[in-house]
């Protein structure tokens, strides 16, 4: 597929992973500024409930109002008798029950105290007055000092309330709202992290699933298609993967078809070649019945040998094609290789004998078991023996040995000119190629050592 | 005279094989196709069947023939040597020969099959100085005319050799053919029996002429 014209099918921006993650990030960013006022409102509503419960905060909250109220009261009381001042203070006390009220006359005597605290001196000295004023300003109490009648000679009166009373419900609530904000922000962050984690976990799970699907091939060596249900980027990846699997399968099938055609063609060719060969042999055989010169007879023998050779080549070509495509039937079983080798050389013995070979057989008495296909093994030995018969005649020697070491080692040796030398019948290499291909397929080790003194073929089990 | 039912679609080869076999003393019934083979198999001593036939293929015909007349041996001829052909063919065929075959080999294979299929045995077999009469299960010294008495096992071994003339037989093959049990590792039974057999039939058992030892492989009787 050309990536430049690859267009995601069925994927809208809305459903893409990118936009989904952007949505998560955006909502996290939005929820913070929204959540803060919401928390404030909630907290205020709860604080407002407190204000409604008590009138205290309304009464004492406004320091300025209290101050002007107290100074006005003090101004009104100018030139009044101490009894009148006491009555006025008692009136104020009923109005502001939580306030502490007292007055000191012009001579510095503490007069009415509401309530009686016992902390005040009877006689106010100048230094004490200054100290009291300092305390009153810095302490937790809100203190208003007003000169009665506006002049210092008539004394002063004091209005004192704890500062706590002056705080509004909202302000009270805002005191505890700080930690709530921190908690809310943390919760929002935690939720954001958790959702992100879920999001990426979901992606990871799907990717791992896809990876597993790619790694585990189905029976034919090609991974099985995966199920797709989400039309996002990973869904597209899965679709592309499935498409690739489909193409692989199709190409595998095409390849198998072509292979089948090729095998068929070779099988047919083999038949078509063998039939005329048989006819040639028939005519040559017919000629033999005629009167012939010695030369003619030799020609006929040569024709016969060449027919045999060509037919062998055809057989090898067909076998090689089958082997290469893995279509050569293979049925492995536990067989005694000594017995198989003995039966094989028994079949070849007369041929070697006829050609005047010295035949050197050294097989052990004990059985040695290999796990191979007996027909394949026979074929391998046949090919090697045939090779010796064809190409090592000058050595006049063939040996078959099996030793029990390393799970069995089979050796075929000759004293021919070696494989580097070209023999008069070329092309026999395909027989050896078939033999080594078969040994390889059967999981056996094989080694050919060839020199001018002869050839050694070693076959054994891989350790 | 042996009756051969020959099914072959190639006219050139068919004519040649028919002529050659007739010269060797067989009567040949040659069919170009297998359709009518079923009626002709009765009365035939052996079937010679080509695999690549038009219409019904050789394997199908072979299987039908084997069902129809199991006592008649079938020799397959084929131009195809694909191994699966060979395996499929041998399930009903008694032997198999690939083209281009040599006429002498064809004749030899036919002989072997006919012999194996319980055709009347030869009356007298000459082997070295021995005269063997299979129907009487008796062995005579051809020079003196005296009978050589053999134990049943010794006779069986000798007849197994005679059934497989010129072939090298391994001790495993002999043991399994004569005793009918799978050969066990290191068994000396065959060696011992052949030694006793030689003592009875060979002039010089230490230098045998009839049962030849092929060192490392087995034994052979030439005819």
- The residue in chain B having the minimum alpha-carbon distance to the alpha carbon of residue A344 is B217
- The residue in chain A having the minimum alpha-carbon distance to the alpha carbon of residue B104 is A285
Indicate which of B12, B21, B78, B83 best probes the interface with A, i.e. most A CBs within 10 Å of its own CB: B83
Interchain CB distance below 8 Å, B172 and A342: yes
Decide: helix, strand or coil at residue B50: strand
For the CA atoms of chain B, what is the radius of gyration?
A: 20
Interchain CB distance below 8 Å, A350 and B168: yes
Interchain CB distance below 8 Å, A271 and B100: no
**Among A285, A346, A347, beta carbon nearest to B103:** A285
Question: pLDDT-derived band of residue A175, with 50, 70 and 90 as boundaries?
Answer: low
Question: pLDDT-derived band of residue A52, with 50, 70 and 90 as boundaries?
Answer: very low
Interchain CB distance below 8 Å, B170 and A346: yes
Query: How does pLDDT run across B26-65, given as a tens digit for each residue?
Result: 999 998 887 788 888 888 889 998 876 655 677 778 888 8
- Exposed/middle/buried for residue B56 (C-beta within 10 Å: 0-12, 13-18, 19+): middle
- What is the share, in percent, of chain A residues with pLDDT greater than 90? 14
Tracing tokens 């879920």 back to the chain, one arrives at A198
* Best CATH choice for the domain B125-221 from the list 1.10.10.10, 3.40.50.80, 3.40.50.2300, 1.20.20.10: 1.10.10.10
- CB-defined contacts A:B, below 8 A: 103
CA separation for the pair B180, B17 (Å, rounded) = 38
Instruction: Judge whether A367 is closer than 8 Å to chain B, CB to CB.
Output: yes
Encode burial over B39-48: b for 16+ CB neighbours within 10 A, e otherwise.
Answer: eebeebbbbb
Instruction: Judge whether B168 is closer than 8 Å to chain A, CB to CB.
Output: yes
- The residue in chain A having the minimum alpha-carbon distance to the alpha carbon of residue B98 is A274
**Beta carbons within 10 angstroms of residue A175's beta carbon:** 11
Can you give the residue ranges of every domain in chain B?
A: 2-116, 125-221
Tracing tokens 């010695």 back to the chain, one arrives at A294
Question: pLDDT-derived band of residue A1, with 50, 70 and 90 as boundaries?
Answer: very low
* Residues 49-88 (B) with a CB less than 8 A from some CB of A: 52, 79-84, 87
Report the pLDDT averaged over residues A300-315.
Answer: 85
Contacts of A421 (CB under 8 A, 6+ apart): A391, A452
> Of A291-295, A370-374, A423-427, B23-27, which range is least confident?
A423-427
**Among B81, B173, B214, beta carbon nearest to A315:** B81
Are the beta carbons of A98 and A55 closer than 8 angstroms? no
Question: pLDDT-derived band of residue A5, with 50, 70 and 90 as boundaries?
Answer: very low
CA separation for the pair B159, B136 (Å, rounded) = 12
Q: Which chain B positions have a beta carbon within 8 Å of A342's beta carbon?
A: 170, 172, 216-218
Instruction: Judge whether A306 is closer than 8 Å to chain B, CB to CB.
Output: no
Tracing tokens 């083999």 back to the chain, one arrives at A270
> Of A44-48, A93-97, B108-112, which range is least confident?
A44-48
Cis peptide before B100 (omega within 30 of 0): yes
| pTM for this entry | 0.56
H or E element, residue A374: helix A374-391
B2-116: CATH superfamily: Response regulator (3.40.50.2300)
Most confident stretch, A309-313, A427-431, B70-74, B189-193? B189-193
- Exposed/middle/buried for residue A137 (C-beta within 10 Å: 0-12, 13-18, 19+): exposed
CA separation for the pair B177, B157 (Å, rounded) = 9
Q: Which of B211, B21, B30 is nearest to B109 (CA)?
A: B21
Interchain CB distance below 8 Å, B214 and A343: no
Predicted local distance difference test score (pLDDT) of residue A46: 67
């Amino acid at each position: 597929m050309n990536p430049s014209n690859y267009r995601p099918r069925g994927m809208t921006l809305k459903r893409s992973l990118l936009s989904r993650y952007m949505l998560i990030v955006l909502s996290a960013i939005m929820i913070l500024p929204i959540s803060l006022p919401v928390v404030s409102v909630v907290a205020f509503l709860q604080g407002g409930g407190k204000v409604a419960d008590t009138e205290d905060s309304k009464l004492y909250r406004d320091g300025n109002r209290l101050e002007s109220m107290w100074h006005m009261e003090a101004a009104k009381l100018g030139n009044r008798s101490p009894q009148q001042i006491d009555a006025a203070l008692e009136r104020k006390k009923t109005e502001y029950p939580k306030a502490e009220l007292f007055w000191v006359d012009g001579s510095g005597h503490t007069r009415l105290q509401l309530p009686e605290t016992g902390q005040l001196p009877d006689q106010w000295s100048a230094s004490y007055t200054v100290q009291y004023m300092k305390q009153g300003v810095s302490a937790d109490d809100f203190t208003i000092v007003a000169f009665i009648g506006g002049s210092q000679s008539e004394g002063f009166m004091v209005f004192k309330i704890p500062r706590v009373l002056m705080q509004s419900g909202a302000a009270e609530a805002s005191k505890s709202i700080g930690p709530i904000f921190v908690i809310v922000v943390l919760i929002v962050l935690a939720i954001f992290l958790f959702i992100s984690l879920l999001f990426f976990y979901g992606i990871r799970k799907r990717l791992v699933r896809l990876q597993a699907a790619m790694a585990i091939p189905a029976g034919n060596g090609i991974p099985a298609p995966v199920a797709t249900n989400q039309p996002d980027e990973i869904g597209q990846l899965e679709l592309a993967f499935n498409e690739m699997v489909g193409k692989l399968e199709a190409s595998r099938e095409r390849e198998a078809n072509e292979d089948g055609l090729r095998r068929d063609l070779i099988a047919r060719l083999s038949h078509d070649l063998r039939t005329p060969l048989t006819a040639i042999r028939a005519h040559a055989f017919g000629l033999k019945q005629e009167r012939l010169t010695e030369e003619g007879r030799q020609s006929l023998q040569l024709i016969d040998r060449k027919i045999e050779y060509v037919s062998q080549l055809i057989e090898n070509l067909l076998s090689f094609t089958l082997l290469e495509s893995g279509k050569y039937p293979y049925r492995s079983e536990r067989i005694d290789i000594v017995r198989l080798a003995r039966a094989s050389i028994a079949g070849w013995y007369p041929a070697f004998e006829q050609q005047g070979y010295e035949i050197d057989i050294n097989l052990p008495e004990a059985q040695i078991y290999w796990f191979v296909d007996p027909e394949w093994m026979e074929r391998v030995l046949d090919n090697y023996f045939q090779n010796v018969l064809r190409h090592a005649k000058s050595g006049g020697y063939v040996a078959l040995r099996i030793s029990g070491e390393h799970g069995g080692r089979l050796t075929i040796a000759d004293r021919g000119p070696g494989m580097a030398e070209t023999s008069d019948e070329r092309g026999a290499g395909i027989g050896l190629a078939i033999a080594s291909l078969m040994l390889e397929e059967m999981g056996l080790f094989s080694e050919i050592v060839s020199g001018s003194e002869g050839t050694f073929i070693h076959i054994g089990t891989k350790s | 005279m042996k009756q051969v039912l020959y099914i072959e679609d190639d006219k050139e080869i068919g004519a040649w094989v028919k002529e050659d076999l007739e010269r060797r003393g067989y009567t040949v019934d040659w069919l170009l196709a297998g359709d009518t083979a079923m009626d002709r198999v009765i009365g035939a001593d052996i079937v010679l069947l080509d695999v690549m036939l038009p219409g019904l293929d050789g394997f199908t015909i072979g299987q039908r023939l084997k069902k129809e007349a199991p006592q008649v041996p079938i020799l397959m001829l084929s131009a195809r040597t694909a191994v699966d052909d060979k395996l499929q063919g041998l399930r009903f065929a008694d032997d198999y020969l690939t083209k281009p075959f040599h006429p002498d080999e064809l004749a030899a294979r036919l002989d072997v099959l006919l012999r194996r299929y319980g055709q009347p045995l030869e009356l007298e077999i000459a082997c070295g100085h021995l005269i063997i009469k299979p129907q009487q299960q008796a062995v005579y010294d051809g020079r003196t005319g005296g009978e050589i008495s053999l134990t049943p096992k010794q006779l069986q071994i000798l007849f197994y050799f005679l059934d497989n003339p010129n072939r090298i037989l391994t001790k495993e093959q002999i043991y399994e053919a004569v005793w009918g049990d799978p050969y066990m590792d290191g068994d000396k039974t065959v060696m011992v029996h052949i030694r006793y057999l030689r003592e009875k039939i060979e002039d010089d058992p230490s230098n045998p002429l009839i049962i030849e030892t092929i060192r490392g492989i087995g034994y052979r009787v030439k005819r």
